Amino acid sequence: MFITRLISGIILVALALVFICTGGNVLLATMLILSLIGMFELYRIFKVEKSLPGILGYLACITYYMDLKFKFCQDNMVIFLGFLILLLAVFVFGYPKYHSHQIMASFFGLFYVGVMLSFLYQTRMLPGGEFIVWAIFLCSWGSDTSAYCVGVLFGKHKMSPLLSPKKSVEGAIGGVLGAMLLTAIYCVVISAVFHINDFAILPLVIISGVGALISMVGDLAASAIKRNFEIKDYGKLIPGHGGVLDRFDSMIITAPIIFFLAYYFYV
């Protein structure tokens, strides 16, 4: 299992390098595909993955991503309102075929997966985004690895014993500090390799620290959903890791945080 997980992890990192470095339409299409798969995984829990509410969710996600590219809506809130109205119409006119929690899950899935994952693409498209976007990986995957190592070595105080018994307060602190350290090293290397004299290191390090702290909420939230429905993994797409939501659970909540912090305080 460890070897499988390691190989899959290496492949994921390699693919991330290719898609992030390429950016543009390639990254946009990649995030759309990941979003649709993630939504399918979430919808499957609520048994709407192949039903009309689920199909409307996929179409709303595609419309949202197309709007990111072509900007045909002055305010993309129109897309979300239209989707909500259609969902309510399906609920009302199809009653009692769908339960209210299925309708709410269909709407939630668009935001939780589709919209929030899109901020990885949106961060990449910021001025300097080709460098800033890696903070999302450093404060999600980086903090996760750091938290695990520190937790194994020094973990004594359980952070959430009922939800995730193996996670400790010491591990959480190690995860945040580890993400900040990795970001600092990354910034120094980037500055040297690309000869960027005015690359502000401290702001990005602080942003990564905040992102790492919040990424734990995303990780635990995804675990809570699985606990509620008594499932081990969301899917089996990535050998040794599970589904898209299993691997990108912390990144889902980290990406928009990094985007807005970078947009207002860094760019």
190 neighbors 128 (Cβ within 8 angstroms): no
Q: Is the pLDDT of residue 240 over 90?
A: no
Two structure tokens written together for 16: 């991330």
- The band of 265, judged by pLDDT with boundaries at 50, 70 and 90, is confident
Report, as an integer, the average pLDDT of 181-193. 90
233 neighbors 42 (Cβ within 8 angstroms): no
At residue 196, the pLDDT reads: 75
Q: Is the pLDDT of residue 6 over 70?
A: no
Two structure tokens written together for 260: 């807005």
What is the greatest pairwise CA distance in the chain?
63
Q: Is the pLDDT of residue 238 over 80?
A: no
Q: Is the pLDDT of residue 258 over 90?
A: yes
Q: CA torsion, points 42, 45, 50, 52, in degrees to nearest 10? A: -80
- The band of 2, judged by pLDDT with boundaries at 50, 70 and 90, is low
- 10 Å Cβ neighbour count for 91? 20
Q: Is the pLDDT of residue 1 over 70?
A: no
29 neighbors 62 (Cβ within 8 angstroms): no
- Whole-angstrom distance between the N-terminal and C-terminal Cα of the chain? 42
Q: Is the pLDDT of residue 203 over 80?
A: yes
